[in-house]
Amino acid sequence: MTKIFLQTSFENDLYKEQNHKKSKLFSYTQPIDFYDPVEFFTYQSSTFHGKRFFWKSSDEQLWTVGLGIAATISVDDAEERFQDSHTKWNQLLKDANIENPARVPGTGPLLFGGFSFDPYSEIEDEWEAFGHSILYLPSYMLTVTENQTYLTINAFSNNTVSAESLREEANKLVQQLKNDEKLLKENPIKIKNSIEIAPDKWIRSVDEIVNILKTTDTKKVVFARKLLLEFEESAQPSYIIKKLLEQQPDSFVFALEVGDYCFLGASPERLIKKIDHDVLSTCLAGSIGRGKDIIEDQKLGEMLLHDHKNLFEHELVVSMIEDALRPYCTDINIPAEPVLMKMPDIQHLYTPVRGKANEDFSILNVVENLHPTPALGGVPTKAALSIIREKEHMDRGFYAGPIGWTDYKGNGEFAVGIRSGLINRDKAYLYAGCGLVSDSVSEEELKETRIKFQPMLKATGGEIL
């Protein structure tokens, strides 16, 4: 079942499930003077709490922040969640009145949100509000791209809304932003407790999975675990976002609020990007830590580039991405060998996959084809997911799922929701995983997950594990 919740006016914060055919989308976009995206995220935070999103692309070419919810698309059907989301988005846009002179990707009506990693896993309490998928059309959206800032306003109405009235609403908000005194005080996060969830049990499960890999046709399983943080007081997502931007400048930084929960992180891994006809996906699989100095770091990088286990794991992902894109792309280009992508705490094998979108391309359908890649699930996918459900003993929720945006022109970008955590007031769950193959060693895999906890741990002021 697909649900669409429409907000019918700027002042009304009560969302009513309606027949969307009775309401029409009106959208207006205008360029404005630069306004800091993080400050926009914190604007009237008490009013917009639980109804915000934040996105910064890994190359910093696009920032977009949403406040308020004009419409929500939420799909309960596990099998059809991508296709139904695509269909309902097109229905909302069908008769929309859109005024966007800029026509720049990432402006105008835009959906932001994500999908759970596995809709067939048992949902735990912390992820219940997210469901299998949730996508927001914001009431107010700031976009910073190509050295220009844009403000978009979206509203639904049963009556005709003039462009002039939306322009007046936009100008009113711009003036309010200029006059905002930014009185919000953000206190540093203080961690009261940091608890690794059953690490000994996790190690035993790794050994069991490795034995399965040695004795069956399953080649790889990506196995995850979680870390519980308890804070002395409620953590503010904006504080963590600022730290992630400072500490992980080459990552996708994202946040998605659903009520009192906020899923956020700094992912190094793009799932798919489409701008006009240009398509880019990336393979990020195989990893090793960073060195204490340049010489050690180079040695570790060389080890990774020649490590059989990691190269095998990487090639599985490259092959799967190529197969997933072929029905939707022409002129696919893949380098013969991976290179290193160096992040502050870890370095990965990296291969970009480029192509040109054909007429069948739909970004949500391609996301469905790509998810989960072998870097997040395993090979073969069905067998790996079965093992994950049996052995992992947790609900990943949106961790390792697709998160990102798509606009009314079909442009968009989705990352993989890793290096991430779920914040709920005075506690948080952080998530990390590793790729298991037949020669994996459980103690080494535990160390790898501890490295992958670091981006979120650092952003929340935690100690290195």
Question: How many structural domains is the chain composed of?
Answer: 2
Is 104 part of any domain? Answer: yes
Domain membership of residue 245 (yes or no) is yes
Say how far apart CA 222 and CA 374 lie, in whole Å: 8
pTM listed for this prediction: 0.91
Residue type, 410: G
Lowest-confidence region among 154-158, 195-199, 259-263 = 154-158
State the DSSP string of 176-189.
HHHH-------PPP
> Are residue 199 and residue 50 in the same domain, yes or no?
no
Q: Is residue 465 part of a domain?
A: no
Do 247 and 105 share a structural domain?
A: no
Residues 292 and 225 in one domain: yes
Residues 71 and 135 both lie in one domain:
yes
- Residue 184 lies inside a defined structural domain of this protein: no
CATH code of 385's domain: 3.60.120.10
The β-bridge partners of 255 are 54, 264
Q: Tell whether the model's pLDDT for residue 424 goes beyond 90.
A: yes
| Residues 151-188 pLDDT 10s | 999 999 877 776 778 888 989 999 999 887 665 567 78
Looking at the fold, whether 235 and 265 belong to one and the same domain comes out as: yes
216 falls within a domain: yes
Per-residue pLDDT, averaged over 48-68, amounts to: 97
Based on the domain organization, do 156 and 211 belong to the same domain?
no
Whether residue 2 has pLDDT greater than 80: no
- As a whole number, mean pLDDT of residues 260-275 equals 96
Whether 136 and 248 map to the same domain: the answer is no
In the set 169, 257, 269, 413, the catalytic residue is 269
In this predicted model, what pLDDT tens digit does every residue of 77-100 receive, in sequence order?
Answer: 999 999 999 999 999 999 899 999
Among the three residues 156, 179, 202, which one is the final residue of a domain in this structure? Answer: 179
pLDDT tens by residue, 72-82: 999 989 999 99
The token pair at 248 is 């992980």
pLDDT attached to residue 180:
78
Q: What is the pLDDT of residue 185?
A: 63
The boundaries of the domain holding residue 165 are 2-179
Task: State yes or no: pLDDT of 344 exceeds 90.
Answer: no
pLDDT of residue 11: 36
Asked if the model's pLDDT at residue 374 lies above 90, the reply is: no
Listed residues 179, 208, 237: the one ending a domain: 179
Q: Are residues 256 and 163 part of one domain?
A: no
Q: What percent of the chain has pLDDT over 70?
A: 93
Q: Would you call 257 a catalytic residue per the annotation?
A: no
Question: Which one of 51, 56, 220, 452 is the catalytic residue?
Answer: 220
Mean pLDDT in residue range 241-269: 96
Straight-line distance from the first to the last Cα atom of the chain, in angstroms, rounded to the nearest whole number: 43
Determine, yes or no, domain membership for 464.
Answer: no
pLDDT for 418 beyond 80: yes
Q: Is 269 tagged catalytic?
A: yes
Residue 141 lies in a domain: yes
Determine contact, residues 108/30, Cβ cutoff 8 Å: no
Closest of 127, 136, 165 to residue 28, by C-alpha: 165
Query: Are 158 and 275 members of one domain?
Result: no
Residue 186 lies in a domain: no
Same domain, 383 and 453: yes
Which amino acid is located at 129 in the chain? Answer: A
pLDDT band per the 50, 70, 90 thresholds, residue 465: low
Q: According to the model, what pLDDT value does residue 184 have?
A: 55
pLDDT for 68: 97
Residues 237 and 331 in one domain: yes
Nearest CA to 434 out of 380, 366, 361, 377 is that of 377
pLDDT band of 14, cuts 50, 70, 90: very low
Among the candidates 144, 179, 214, a domain finishes at 179
How far is 253 from 60, CA to CA, in rounded Å?
A: 10
Q: What is the pLDDT of residue 39?
A: 94
